[in-house]
Structure 1
């Protein structure tokens, strides 16, 4: 089986989505989740056999991953990772 035909199997994309989600849990960088969502979407697309061209599959995966990452950034942009600045001491009257 050549490497190009592996990308046309739906469970390969599902396995990639699971692996990328696990990497996101181990090293939370907020980038692997977008790739995981892109791979999950690709599993559905490949399962229905919509696209069989390997180059088109990879281009669609890149586009879906970028779109998922942008949506995640917009949804979670209100969360601040910065430190809280304390202006008043809790022990002061």
Structure 2
């Protein structure tokens, strides 16, 4: 059952949209890379890429990591977002 489901394009796209919804519920650009990887894998399967389960999982993993790195570069930590404390609230003035 699972092996036949992995070879269908719509299963990958549904997984991508589910991960996109999970990203909305838990923001932080963690699940968005996986969502992009799943949608791209679904598109490749939909266009007729003849690949088995190991190849599809490898494509999903590689595209997800690349998408995550691109998102990290584009949306990552902004300048001045990290606060460095010079003194503690418990220090005497």
Both structures adopt the same fold (TM-score exceeding 0.5): yes
RMSD over aligned Cα atoms: 1.9
The answer for the alignment partner of 1:26 in structure 2 is 25
Where do 4+ consecutive residues of structure 1 move more than 6 Å? Answer: none
Note the residue ranges of structure 2 that are not aligned, 5 or more in a row.
Answer: 86-93
- Normalising by structure 1, what TM-score? 0.80
Structure 1, residues 6-42: CA drift from partner, whole Å, max 9, x if none? 1111110110011000000001131100000001101
Contact 1:45 1:51 in 2 (8 A): no
Note the residue ranges of structure 1 that are not aligned, 5 or more in a row.
Answer: 86-93
- Normalising by structure 2, what TM-score? 0.80
The answer for the alignment partner of 2:43 in structure 1 is 44
Q: Does 1:62 align with 2:64?
A: no
